[in-house]
Every structure is written in C-alpha cells, then in structure tokens.
Amino acid sequence: MQTKDYIIEKLPLTLRNNVKDDRTLIGLPYPYTVPCAEGMFDEIYYWDTYFTNKALFALGQVEQAENNVKDILYLIDRFGFMPNGNRTYYTMQSQPPYAALMVNDVFNASGSLSFLKEAFVKLKKEYGFWMTRRLAPNGLNFYGCERSDQDCVNMYNGCVAQRIGKEVGRDAKEAGRHYFAECESGWDFSPRFDGRCIDYNPVDLNSNLYLYEKLFAKYETLLGEGDGSEWEARAQSRAKAVNRFMWDSVEGVYKDYNYVTRNVSNVVSAASFQPYFVGLANAEQKGGLVKLLNLLECDWGIFATQPADKKYQWAFPNIWAPCQYVAVEGLRCGGFEKDAERIAKKYVALLDKNFAKYGKLFEKYNGITGDTDAASEYDTPEMLGWTAGVYLNFLKGLK
C-alpha cells in the first residue's frame, strides 16, 4: 500500500458526527474531521482544520471541507471567537486565526455567494475578538490568556513542569498566563516567545490578520456591501507596522516582536515565512526567503526553529506539516518556485519513507534523522489530520 492509498482508506475514520453537547464535548451541526482516527485529539481543532481540509480538497471532498468550516463558523457565532477545539475546556482560548482562509478555500471551490455572505458576518465577529481582546498598544495583536489565577498556577506546576520544566524562582501564576497564551499560539511549546508569549506580537498571527483584512475588502465588494476601502486601509496599516516592528534588518528576516522590551526575538522560526505566505512582504524583503532557507532548511524539509538551548517540540530538530505548507506557499508567493518544489518533495519523501517503515503517519518528525524520534513533550501520536493534508496537497502540486 502506498501512502496516498492509506490516507484515502483511513481518512473516513476521522469523521465524527455529534450534534448534541455531551459532558465536555460541544456538539456541532455538521459532521466534522478530527486529527486522529482513534486515540488522542478526538475533537475538531481550529488551525489544524485549515491544513486537514487540504486533504479533502485534494480528494475532491469539497462538501466535507465545507462542513468543517461551517462547524467552525457555528462555534464563532456561539462563543464570539473560535475556541481551540469543541471541548468546554478549550473555550477560554483560541488558536491561530485561519477561519477566513478556510472560508476562502470553500468559496473558491463552490462559488457560493450565499455561503460567503453568511460566513462574512461570523468572520467579522471573530476579527472583533482579536481586535478587542488581543490588541497591543502598538496596534498589533498578541496571543492572550483569560484563565483564572488558580488555572494559571495549575498550568505551570502541572503541564509546563512535566513537558519542559519550570524556571527557578518564577512566579507560577505569572508564568502560567504566558504559557496558556502559548497554547493559543498553537506552538506549545516553543523558544519563540522566551516563556513570555503575551509580551509578543507574533509574526504569524499578525500576518494572518493582514490576510483577513485583505479578504474582507474583497468580500465587501463581492457582496455589494461597500467598496472595501476601510478594510484595505487596515491591511496597509498593519503591513506598515509589521514591516516596522518585525523586520530584523540586521539578520534580514521577519521575527516575533516583544512590544514590552521593544526588541525582536532572538529566535528565527518557520513562522517567519508567514508574511510571504499572505502576500504582506514587499520586494525589499524577498531576500529574507534566502536567509530563511539557509537557516531552517534540512534534508527533510524546514525545521520549526533554529537550534534551541532546551528541548521543545515546536523547535529544532522537528518538522511539522503546517510549517512545511506555509514555507512552500510563501516561497511560491515570493517567486521561489524551484525552492518551493524542493521543500515539497522533501516532505513527501519523508512521509513515504516513514510510511514504508511503520505503515502510519505521525504528528511530527525529526528533521535530522528523517524518522519519528522527534523531540517531544508527549508521545508522538499517529496522525492523519494536517500531516495527510499537506502531503496530499504537495503530491497533487508536484504532479
């Protein structure tokens, strides 16, 4: 059996249909896709779904991709933002905003203006969450925490202590707030934010919100609700701020920006491809793609970050599916087509190699060994989800 055949056979096993709330599970109106056929991650997850849907589109399963997006829009309408996932214990935090990108994928596939009109209302509600509850003084956005003090203490003394260890003398309540914010980033945990996630304007978050504003300008015009000029002005203002604060002119790459200390991060990560992915970077920043390839490319794809001084799972030497996708599309948007194809081929080869050995796909891989011995904060689970989605998207593009 080939990797693609395995995905086609197993993907239906990741479908769930739970319309009613049941204990911690939040019911959803449409069937939805979860990352794993069994075991861990038996819920719909926010940013995972954007990449998982790539598998569904590649296989022509547009209706199910649309179902996933409608469920996310339902959750946005119900909670005022998209929770981490459809569990009650996830309703205090979000994840990287991809709903507008998912809506755009469905609209491009279906052309349904009625779908777009309904979705646009809910997307603006989600945008309002980021602009009212996650807005820094410099006009850019951050990942945050709305948990109780005790939750934050428990988080630091429990999850953080077990997964990456505690810092000597650090206040548990204060630390827990930052690590909950890091969970909202989707990169839990990573050296990107130096344990102080709330203090940072993440480059990927602000890039995606730029794309929201660009898409909203387009949607407003398409739907006859305005000329899109206000949204376009917001997008240009954000692009100016991202280029002002997040472009490291010394190293020649985009980085996360600490708006408290007013310094860019010391860490170069795969998130630095995001401004290229959304079309925010201008011609002067194109050279940053060459720098990123020099810093992060390996035999099997793109490392999550440069080498770190301690073990994190969202860091060197790990390879994650969403990082590969954003890097490849960012390279394409920047005109680096041959480099994009090379990275895509590496990731396809990585999955084929490991599938031949284990007969499974996994959440993440080791970019040095090209195997499943990834630096991990928990056992590396078998996974379809975004791993399968990015694989099939690349495979289709390479043909």
> What is the structure's pLDDT at 276?
99
> What is the structure's pLDDT at 97?
99
Residues of the chain with pLDDT > 70: what percent?
100
Is 320 a domain residue? yes
> What is the structure's pLDDT at 184?
99
Q: Read off the pLDDT band of 397 (50, 70, 90).
A: very high
Is 178 a domain residue? no
Total tally of structural domains belonging to the chain? 1
Residues of 96-131 as b/e, b for ≥16 C-beta within 10 angstroms? Answer: bbbbbbbbbbbbebeeeeebbeebbebbbbbbebbe
Mean pLDDT of all residues in 132-146: 98
pLDDT at 130 over 90: yes
Mean pLDDT of all residues in 304-317: 92
Residue 349 tokens, joined: 């080869």
Least confident of 35-49, 125-139, 142-156: 35-49
Is 174 a domain residue? no
**Residue 93: CATH number of its domain:** 1.50.10.10
Is 36 a domain residue? yes
Mean pLDDT of all residues in 206-234: 99
> What is the structure's pLDDT at 41?
83
Q: What is the pTM of this model?
A: 0.97
Residues of the domain holding 383: 3-143+185-398
> What is the structure's pLDDT at 377?
76
- Active-site residue identified among 199, 248, 256, 363: 363
What region does 47 belong to: left with phi over 0, alpha with psi -120 to 50, or beta?
A: alpha
User: How many whole angstroms separate alpha carbon 332 and alpha carbon 343?
Assistant: 11
> What is the structure's pLDDT at 254?
99
Query: CA nearest 156: which of 148, 165, 143, 146?
Result: 165
Is 150 a domain residue? no
Is 78 a domain residue? yes
What region does 165 belong to: left with phi over 0, alpha with psi -120 to 50, or beta?
A: left
> What is the structure's pLDDT at 135?
99
Query: CA nearest 302: which of 333, 331, 334?
Result: 331
> What is the structure's pLDDT at 375?
74
Q: What pLDDT digit, counting tens, does each position of 95-106 carry?
A: 999 999 999 999
Mean pLDDT of all residues in 176-200: 98
> What is the structure's pLDDT at 40?
77
- The whole-chain average pLDDT of the chain stands at 97
Mean pLDDT of all residues in 188-204: 98
> What is the structure's pLDDT at 378?
80
> What is the structure's pLDDT at 201?
99
379 annotated active-site: no
Mean pLDDT of all residues in 222-244: 99
> What is the structure's pLDDT at 30?
99
pLDDT at 379 over 80: no
- Active-site residue identified among 48, 188, 199, 382: 188
Helical spans, DSSP H, in the chain? 3-10, 46-58, 62-79, 99-110, 113-133, 149-155, 161-163, 172-184, 203-222, 229-245, 274-277, 287-296, 321-333, 337-358, 385-398
Is 180 a domain residue? no
| Beta pairing, strands 15-16 & 32-33 | antiparallel
323 burial via Cβ count (<10 Å: 0-12, 13-18, 19+): buried
User: How many whole angstroms separate alpha carbon 38 and alpha carbon 22?
Assistant: 18
Query: CA nearest 49: which of 30, 28, 35?
Result: 35
184 annotated active-site: no
Q: What pLDDT digit, counting tens, does each position of 167-181 carry?
A: 999 999 999 999 999
Mean pLDDT of all residues in 196-211: 99
Mean pLDDT of all residues in 372-377: 83
Long-range contacts of 111-114 (CB under 8 A, 24+ apart): 113/222, 113/223
Is 172 a domain residue? no
